[in-house]
């Protein structure tokens, strides 16, 4: 049962436990429209791990965490360029994997 908030929104306390270790519980706070089904809340909460894995890969592959700046503008530029480079790598990786699964060859670049 959600705790109602203002403007047609509600808040929930989600509890998650691993199948392999049912005694360990993890809690998270969620908010959204009152009519949000529990399955949707669980699905969206589960995407958190994919996002965290993406940030971890960006830290390792493009240096997202290696900024040494003194201003917000410098930090913003660094993070923007890192995330753009990471997005390019992920799209390229997906294209190569899809071409490999189909047995197709990627078009060669003309130099």
Listed in sequence order, the DSSP H helices in the chain are 38-62, 72-102
- For 63-69, the CB contacts below 8 A with 24+ separation are none
- Which pLDDT belongs to residue 26? 84
Q: Are 82 and 62 in contact (CB under 8 A)?
A: yes
Is residue 42 in a domain? no
Is residue 19 in a domain? yes
- Tell me the residue range of the domain where 19 lies: 1-36
Q: For residues 64 and 94, state if they share a domain.
A: yes
- Alpha-carbon distances, residue 1 vs 28, 37, 41, 42 (angstroms): 15, 11, 13, 14
- Residue 7 backbone class (left: φ over 0; alpha: ψ -120 to 50; beta: rest): left
pLDDT at 82 over 60: yes
Q: For residues 87 and 66, state if they share a domain.
A: yes
Q: Are 6 and 33 in contact (CB under 8 A)?
A: no
The two three-digit tokens of residue 77, written as one number: 């530029």
Give the predicted TM-score (pTM) of the model. Answer: 0.59
Q: For residues 54 and 105, state if they share a domain.
A: yes
pLDDT tens-place string over residues 5-47: 778 888 888 888 878 888 888 888 888 888 889 899 888 888 8
Is residue 29 in a domain? yes
């Amino acid at each position: 049962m959600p705790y109602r908030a203002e403007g047609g929104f509600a808040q929930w306390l989600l509890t998650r436990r691993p199948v392999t270790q049912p005694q360990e519980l993890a809690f998270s706070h969620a908010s959204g429209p009152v009519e949000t089904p529990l399955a949707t809340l669980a699905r969206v909460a589960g995407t958190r791990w994919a996002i965290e894995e993406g940030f971890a890969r960006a830290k390792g592959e493009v240096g997202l965490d290696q900024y040494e700046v003194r201003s917000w503008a410098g930090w913003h530029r660094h993070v923007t360029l890192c995330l753009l480079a990471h997005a390019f790598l992920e799209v390229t990786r997906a294209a190569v994997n899809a071409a490999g699964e189909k047995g197709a060859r990627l078009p060669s670049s003309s130099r």
